[in-house]
A and B are shown apart, each in its own frame.
Chain A
Amino acid sequence: MDFATLLQVLDSTIRLGTPLLFACLAGLFSERAGIFDIGLEGKMLMSAFFSAAIAFTTGSVWIGLLAGIASSMVLSAIHGLASITFRGNQLISGVAINFLAAGMTVLIAQDWFSQGGRTPSLVGNARFEPVTLPGAEALRDVPLLGPIYYEVISGHTILVYLAFLCVPATWWVLFRTRFGLRLRAVGENPAAVDTAGVSVVGLRYAAVAICGLLCGFAGAYLSTALQAGFVKDMSAGRGYIALAALIFAKWRPWYALFSTMLFGFLQALALRPDLIERAIGVKVQVQLLDAMPYILTVVILAGFVGKAIPPRAGGQPYVKER
C-alpha cells in the first residue's frame, strides 16, 4: 500500500468512524448510568431521517440537526419511561425502539416525499460542508506531515471535529465532575446514591437524555454529512457496531475512540478489498471484514483478551426500598 492510498484509507476511517464514535459515547453515558441501550441504532436512524427531512424543507442543515437531535431524544424519553419509570426490561425496550425507528422513518418519508422511503438529495446549505483547517493548503507540501494534515485531518465536516472533541469532554464529565461521579455510581450501586440523597431517577434520565443527544449527532452526520439525504435503513447496523465498540472499549471514553476508529478502519478496508489483497497477498473475503467487528467483540466478551466488565447495576431497574 503506497502512502497516498494509506492516507485515503485513513481519511475514510475517520469519516466512517465518526458516527460510531458519537453512538459509542452515547451508549457510554447510558450504560455507565446502568441503562442498557440496544436502541442506539434506532435513535441514529430516526435522527438521520429528521435531520435530512427538515434540512431539506428549511434549507438549513443546522435546523435539520436540531430536529434530528429532538427526534432522537424523544426516543430516549420513551426508553427512559419504559426502563426507569415503569421499570420494564431495558433490552426489550431497545428492540422496540429500533423497530419503531425503522418503521416510522420510512412511513413518514413516504408520506412527506413520496420517493419510496427516502428524502430528496440535499444540496448547498442543507448539508454539512467540509471544513479546511487553517494552514492546510499552505502546509500541504511539507513532507510527510503536510499531506497527513491536509488529507486526513483537514477537510472533514464540523461534526467530525465535534465528535473528536466529545471524547475528552466525556472523559472530563465522567471522571472530573460531581455529576460524572454520581452518574457512574448510579450504574454501579444505585442504592448508595439514593442513600446519599441524590435522585437515581433524575440521574438516569439525564444520562439517557445525553445518550439521545449524541445519537442525534450520529444520525445527523449520516444523512447530512456522510451522505446527502436519508435512505431507508441507512444506519445499517452502525448502532450495533457502536455497541460492540463500547464493549471493546470496556466502557471507557479514550478506549472508545480507539475501538471506534479500529472498526471504522475495518469498514474503510471493506470498501477497498483490493488493497488487502495487494498488501498481504491473500484474498480476504469482504464478508469476513464486515463480520470482523462482531467477531472481535465476541472474542472480547468471551474474556479471551482481557475481561470486559459492564457496570454492575446495568440492566436492572432500581426499586426503592418500601
Chain B
Amino acid sequence: MERMPAWADVVLIPLISLLLAAILSALVILAIGENPVEAFNLMVEGALMRSAGWGYTLYYATNFIFTGLAVAVAFHARMFNIGGEGQAMLGGLGVALVSLYIPWPHWSLALLGSCVGAALFGAAWAFIPAYLQAKRGSHIVITTIMFNFIAAALLNYVLVSLLKPVGAMDPASANFPAATHLPTFQDMFATAENPLFRGAPANVTFFIALAACLFVWLLIWRTRLGYEIRAQGFSESAAKYAGISPARIIIIAMLISGALAGMMGVNTAQGEAERLVLNSTEGAGFIGIAVALMGRNHPLGVLLAAILFGFLYQGGAELALWTNIPRELIVVIQALVILFTGALDNMVRMPLERIFMALNRKGA
C-alpha cells in the first residue's frame, strides 16, 4: 500500500521543512532583538521589488542552479558530492585560462569556450575522487572534502604565483579582455526610458543555467544513461545484475556533476568579476547541497530552490546593509534548511505518513 500520495512527498514535506526552518530563523532574529516581520519585508523589498534586486537574486540563483544540479545528479547515483565548492573553483580557473589566453572575436564564442573550459576543469577535479571511489573504494564524501581544500590551496598558488599581473597586490588574475564581456541583464533589457537591472550582475549565463536544468531533466529521465544512473542509485546490486557497471556509472555521474559545478565559474568569473579572484565561489558549492535537498533532486525543484536561495542571499545582503543583522543569518537559514530537508527528513515524514495512513483507513 502507498504510504503517502506522491504530491505530499514532493510538495508537502519540503514546504513543512521550509516552514520549520523559517520559524526557527524568525526565532533567531527575535532573539537578537530584531523584528522578523520587518526583516522579511526588508528582504522582499531589497530582493524582489526592484529590477536591480531581481538582477542580484537571479545572479546568485544562477550559481546555485549549477551547484544544485551538480549535487542532484550525484545524488541520483546515490553519491554525496560535497566537493562542488572545489569543482567550482577549478571551473573558475578554466574560465580564466580560456578567457585570458584565447583571443575571442565575440562574446558568444567566448561564452561557448569558457563553458567548455569550466566544465572540463570542474569534471577533471571530480574525476580523481570518482576514480578512487569506483576503483579503490575510497569514500567519495571524504575525498571530495579533501579536494575542496586542495583546490583552495591550488587556486591560491596559481593566482599568487602564476596569474597575478606583475605589480598587482591582491591575489587575482588580470582583467579579462573586453571581447569576453558577457551581456548583463542591463545590457539586454534596459532601454533609455526604462533603466532596468541597473548595476546588477545577472547576465546571460542565467539562460545557460536554465538550459542546464533542461539538460539534466532529459539526461536523468529520458536517456539510457540517466536510467542507469537512477538504477544504480536505487540498488547497486540490482543494477549490477542488469549489466550496469557501477564503476562506470560512478565515474560518469561524478564527471557530469563536476562539470555542472565547474560551470558556475562562468557566472562568477566571466559574468560578474571579469577576472578570477581568490574567493569567487563564496560557499555556493555548499549551498548546492541545500538547493538539491530542497528541490528533491529534480531540475524544476532545483531551479525554484535556487531562486529561493538567491532571494535569501540578496535579501540577506540588504539586511546587513540596513539593520544590525549580519549576513551570516543566511548561513543559519541555509543550515536549518539542510537540517530539516536533509537530516531530519524523517521527523517530518513519519508523522505525516501516519496521518495519511489514518486517512486512508477511514476512506477505505
Contact = CB atoms under 8 A, between A and B. Distances in A.
Interface of A: 38, 78, 81-83, 86-93, 95-100, 102-104, 106-108, 110-111, 114, 117, 237, 240, 243-244, 247, 285, 287-288, 290-291, 294-295, 297-298, 301-303, 310
Interface stretch (B223-231, B235-243, B252-260, B324-332): B324-332
B89 to A, nearest CB: 13
Contacts of A298: 128, 132, 138, 143, 146-147, 150
Given A247-B142, A297-B146, A78 B339 contact: yes
Contact of A240 (B149, B326, B350): B149
B145 interface: yes
Contacts of B31: 111
A204 B33 CA distance: 37
Given A111-B33, A310-B139, 11 more contacts: A89-B80, A92-B343, A96-B339, A99-B338, A104-B28, A104-B332, A287-B154, A287-B160, A291-B150, A291-B154, A298-B128
Contacts, number: 153
B161 interface: yes
A103 B334 contact: yes
Nearest to B342: A92
A96 B149 contact: no
A243 B286 contact: no
Interface string B309-326: 000000000000000111
Contact of A103 (B331, B346, B350): B331
28 contacts: A38-B145, A82-B344, A83-B343, A86-B347, A88-B342, A88-B345, A89-B342, A89-B343, A91-B82, A92-B289, A93-B343, A95-B286, A95-B289, A99-B338, A100-B336, A103-B333, A104-B328, A106-B328, A107-B32, A110-B324, A111-B31, A237-B149, A287-B156, A294-B150, A297-B142, A298-B150, A301-B139, A303-B138
Nearest to A99: B335
Q: Which 8 A-B pairs have the closest CB atoms?
A: A103-B331, A93-B343, A99-B335, A103-B332, A291-B153, A92-B342, A301-B138, A100-B335
A288 B143 contact: no
Q: How large is the interface on B (under 10, 10 to 19, 20 to 34, 35 or more residues)?
A: 35 or more
Given A81-B344, A89-B343, A110-B324, A103 B147 contact: no
A100 B332 contact: yes
A102 B331 contact: yes
B47 interface: no
Interface string B238-270: 000000000000000000000000000000000
A303 B136 CA distance: 7
Nearest to B31: A111
B157 A285 contact: yes
A74 B351 CA distance: 24
B150 A96 contact: no
A125 B33 CA distance: 30
Scoring A106, A107, A243, A290 by chain B CB atoms within 10 A of each residue's CB, the highest score goes to A107
B28 A291 contact: no
A301 B33 contact: no
Nearest to B158: A287
A98 B343 CA distance: 13
B22 to A, nearest CB: 15
A86 B346 contact: yes
Scoring A78, A104, A295, A302 by chain B CB atoms within 10 A of each residue's CB, the highest score goes to A302
A243 B142 contact: yes
A270 B328 CA distance: 29
A237 B345 CA distance: 27
B39 interface: no
Contacts of B48: none
A102 B328 contact: yes
Scoring A38, A97, A294, A303 by chain B CB atoms within 10 A of each residue's CB, the highest score goes to A294
B137 interface: yes
Contact of B339 (A38, A100, A285, A288): A100
Given A38-B141, A86-B344, A298-B143, A107 B326 contact: yes
B276 to A, nearest CB: 16
A100 B21 CA distance: 12
A240 B153 CA distance: 15
B258 to A, nearest CB: 16
B293 interface: yes
Interface string B43-67: 0000000000000000000000000
Contacts of B82: 91, 95
A295 B32 CA distance: 41
Contacts of B345: 86, 88
A307 B146 CA distance: 17
Nearest to A240: B145
B342 A107 contact: no
A117 B328 contact: yes
Interface in B272-322: 286, 289, 293
Interface in B16-38: 28, 31-33
A7 B142 CA distance: 34
Given A88-B345, A110-B326, A301-B132, A95 B338 contact: yes
Contacts of B142: 243-244, 247, 297, 301
B346 A244 contact: no
Scoring B136, B142, B156 by chain A CB atoms within 10 A of each residue's CB, the highest score goes to B142
Given A88-B346, A110-B326, A99 B80 contact: no
Contact of B326 (A83, A87, A97, A117): A117
B239 to A, nearest CB: 19
Contacts of A104: 28, 328, 332
B153 A290 contact: yes
A298 to B, nearest CB: 5
A135 B109 CA distance: 74
B343 A96 contact: yes
